[in-house]
Structure 1
Amino acid sequence: MAFLGTGAQGASIGADFVAAGHDVTFVEQWPDHVAAIRENGITVNLPKRSFNVRVPALHLCQLAEVRQPFDIVFIVMKAYDTKWACQLIEPYLAPDGLVVGLQNGMTHEDIAAVVGRERTIGAVIEIASNMFVPGITNRENDHDTSWFAMGALDPKTQERVESVADLLRCTGTVEVTDDIRSAKWMKLVVNAAELIPSAVVDLPLADAARDPGMLEVMREAGYEAMRAALADGSKIVSIIGMPPVTTNDPERYVDQIFEKVLTTFSSQDTLTTSLQDWRKGRRAEVREVNGWVVDILAAHGQTAPMNQRVVEVALEIERGTRELTTANTAVLVEALHKVRSNA
């Protein structure tokens, strides 16, 4: 197996695979990280324990040295890197090999466009990690609060999903679903509410939710995302270990799932992956999450004004024309008032 992308999430999951005795290779684009892993192994710091494992690590340019094809490739890269990453790894995938996208966003279709639907497994991931030092990842969820869902795009491949899920159970709870598209949409709903909105105000997720007016901003972004999901043909399905959906109120379900993330899958100092990206000088998954909501609703003749404003502010931050500061709360709250006054 290969883990393509071994940042905070990929490294911690891949390390669990190694600790469980699986044959794993890390493939990574950060040269210092590759060097650190080769010298000292990968260290995973969890809330109450730490461990270190040795694992083969290749830089992207060394894939050409691979002789034995991979049976399974887990892609744990940013959503915007999916297409080129799949094009890179496809020549090194076994003819009946599988690619699993452990990513935010609706990346399963990008994967399938490169390797084929019959070789694609979509996945949902719910853990929180950070990495600021090469060779060391800090994971905030141990196995008991790490959750994944998996499902094939091609019904003929669905029978193979359980065996892959069983491998992934070395790192957390894994549910197999025959509607991975809906499950990924539900995760995008909560991501639209939490990732970029909390990053825009330069606060940990929990602090952002407590900032006056921001919880309502984040919920509104989630409500629009749920409308996009339903317009796109998704069903409201249970994810992240929540009980079966019993409410007929989509917005009520958004509130429930967002609360679950805040109370179970994040800590008081959790920085979303988007804020981590910005603090590292990298771009975040703005267009792939909140922008996706805007585009899908536009395709159905609807608007997503809260998500649109989030995207605008986020892109201004990335262009350097707006400061990353808690003062941006006022901008988003003002946009929320406009949304509600026009409703």
Structure 2
Amino acid sequence: MSWESERNLKIAFVGAGAQGASIGADFALAGLDVTFIEQWPEHVDAMNEHGISVNMPMRSINANVRAKHLCQVAELRERFDVIFLVVKAYDTRWTCQLVEPVLASDGLVVGVQNGMTQRAIASVVGAERTVGAVFDMASNMFTPGVTNRQNDRDTSWFALGALDPANRERVERVAELLRLSGRVEVTDDIGSAKWMKLIVNAAQLVPSAILNLPFAEAVRVPGMAKVMRAAGYEAMRAAQADGASIVPILGMPPTTTNDPDRYVDEIFDEVLKTFMMPDTLTTVLQDWHKGRRGEVLDINGHVVETLERAGRGAPVNRRIVEIARSIEQGSLTAQVTNSSLFAT
């Protein structure tokens, strides 16, 4: 195993769905040593036979890749220097347990995920081998072997941060890798950056999915912008209760306001302006369309739990969780008229 050069690193993408496959394709085309590990059998077979195709707004690419089924992890003899974990937040712990045996002793797991997953990763592989990540990149996948990426490199954004300060130099190496796929920043306060992203996710991902609309349309439904921003304000209070600082994300300049709610508005508007196309479906709505549960408890549910521990309430996020869980349990349908369920 060698960290002398990025090109010597053995890299795995665990979770080769819309996001993981999009990033991994850039790595493969750059000639890096990349292995995809994925749980969708037909997708693995399609990638091995035809490569991974990535359709972007102005271009399309295809990369030949080496893909493995989850059940083949125990057959792997090589150890990976960097594992990019691109699975749902609720799948973090067991996935880390699955791949820990093939992680190099000085390897790193980079959690390119929603939610505060760096804590779950560290609980399995150790803080010294954990890198937290924040990202904003819209994509979707409904056909095996094909991902539709709505942000090219210029509007894809990542931030990375080591849990162990001793890894700062190696995180810079990982950042160089990710720059193949977008803009990348390295931060010394990844916990706060993760919270800032969770704030905007709490405001956007689940509320728009509840209406079965792209975010850009959901925000125009009467009353919903107010609900979404209120969810973000509660999430900001949760972040501060958890000890997070207000830090810039998404490539935005440092905030000039001391008003936490005003900052929530700023990042909310930046995502709407830069990272969301008119037809962008949030990851939660995509999961629901596929019959899967979304990351509701890892986003809005985390806000509720954090404020409850601080002896405070989160009525807007609690209502979002209640409605979303009803949809996932089949007692309610995602539809525009659900906006009336937020009326007070």
- TM-score band (shorter)? over 0.9
Distance across 2 between alignment mates of 1:171 and 1:233? 31
What's the counterpart of residue 24 of structure 2? 14
1:294 aligns with 2:304: yes
Say whether residues 1:50 and 2:60 are aligned partners: yes
The answer to whether structure 1 residue 325 and structure 2 residue 335 are counterparts is: yes
Kindly indicate whether residue 88 of structure 2 is the aligned counterpart of residue 78 of structure 1.
Answer: yes
2:57 counterpart SS class: coil
Structure 1 CA distance, aligned partners of 2:107 and 2:310?
Answer: 36
In 2, Cα distance between equivalents of 1:236 and 1:19: 37
CA distance in 2, matches of 1:277, 1:250: 31
1:304 to 2:305 alignment: no
Give the length in aligned residue pairs: 334
Matched, 1:210 2:220: yes
CA deviation vs aligned residue, 1:277-332 (integer Å, no higher than 9, x gap)? 00000000010000000000000000000000000000000000111111101112
Q: Shift in Å at residue 157 of structure 1? A: 1.5
1:92 equivalent among 78, 84, 102 = 102
- Tell me the SS of whatever aligns to 1:11: helix
User: C-alpha displacement at 1:68, in angstroms?
Assistant: 1.1
Match of 1:245 in 2: 255
**Counterpart for residue 38 of structure 1:** 48
User: What's the secondary structure of 1:192's corresponding residue?
Assistant: helix
Deviation at 1:124, TM superposition (A): 0.2
**Partner of residue 340, structure 1:** none
RMSD (Å) for aligned C-alpha atoms: 0.5
Give the match's secondary structure for 2:296: coil
Report the CA distance between 1:131 and its aligned residue.
0.3
- Kindly provide the amino acid, as one letter, of the partner of residue 261 in structure 1: V
2:180 matched to which residue of 1?
170
CA distance in 1, matches of 2:29, 2:232: 37
**Distance apart, 1:186 and its partner CA:** 0.1
User: For 1:249-264, what aligned pairs fall within 5 Å after superposition?
Assistant: 249-264=259-274
Name the % identity.
Answer: 65
Shift of 1:159: 2.3
In structure 2, distance between residues paired with 1:15 and 1:295: 37
Give the distance between the partners of 2:201 and 2:55, measured in 1 at CA: 24
Equivalent-residue separation in structure 1 for 2:98 and 2:295 (angstroms): 21
* 2:208 aligned residue (176, 198, 201): 198
> What TM-score does the superposition give when structure 2 sets the normalisation length?
0.97
Report the counterpart of residue 5 of structure 2 in structure 1. none
Report the Cα distance in structure 2 between the residues aligned to 1:324 and 1:160, rounded to whole angstroms: 44
Amino acid at match of 1:147: W
Deviation at 1:155, TM superposition (A): 1.3
